[in-house]
Each structure stands twice: as C-alpha cells, then as structure tokens.
Amino acid sequence: MVSTGAYIIIFIIAFGEKGILLKYRIYLDVYLSLFLGIVFLFISGPKGSGLMYLIGFNILSAVFMGMSSVFFSSSVTAIVLFVITFIIHFNIIPDSPINGYGTFQFANVAITTLLIVSYLH
C-alpha cells in the first residue's frame, strides 16, 4: 500500500503539476527514488521494494541527467549500501525490518545491486 502511494507521488510530480519547471521535476523524481529506496529498505526489509528504487535511481539518473551522472549515482548507491550494511552488522537499529537480512546476505545483495548498476557505464 505504501509503495502504491509512492508510485502515485512520483507520477504526480512527473506528469501533474506544470508550474514546476521540467528540470526540477526531473531532479525531484530522481532523488525521490533514492529517498524511497532507503526508506523502503528500512520499513519493509527484505520483502520490500527498496532495492528496486535504488536501482531505479541509477537508471533514472542515467536516462534523465546523462551518462556523466552515472558515476555520481553509482557512488551514492555504494555509500548508501555500505552504511546500511554497517547498520545491520552492528545492529544499530535493533527493531527495524532491515535486520531480516544477515550481514553477509545484505553484503551479497549490495554487491549484486552494484553489479547491475555498473552495466550502465
């Protein structure tokens, strides 16, 4: 249900309000997908769509901002995944669904995500 609401918000920003310049709508959509990816990883853990939003962030930045932004978006994704792996390993947020991943399991998922993103280069 929350994911559907997020899709609706992205759709409204992209196609709804014409008072916002196209450049800013693109930035909002791209960085909203990054934000939603991080939030959904913590809200729904392994069962959610957080990783898909993170991959979507990289794809959207490549499509809308050009290939020069792919290195930046890949670096941001790598940093986010490293920080989340650190949080899981040291159990910093004990009651979060993100702890449904084991440390090595999430590290494997993070490496796979970065491999998928590296194909954009």
**In this prediction, what percent of the chain has a pLDDT beyond 90?**
27
User: What is the chain's mean pLDDT, rounded?
Assistant: 87
- Residue 64's closest CA among 36, 22, 34? 22
- Could you count the other beta carbons within 10 Å of the beta carbon of residue 62? 19
Length of the chain: 121
pTM of the complete model: 0.86
The whole-number pLDDT of residue 76 equals: 93
Instruction: Round to whole Å and give the CA distance between 60 and 43.
Output: 23
Per-residue pLDDT at 4: 79
What is the structure's pLDDT at 116? 85
| pLDDT tens by residue, 30-89 | 999 999 999 999 999 898 888 889 988 988 898 888 888 888 998 999 999 999 999 999
- Alpha helices in the chain, H assignment, sequence order: 2-15, 22-44, 50-65, 70-89, 103-118
- Residue 113's pLDDT is 87
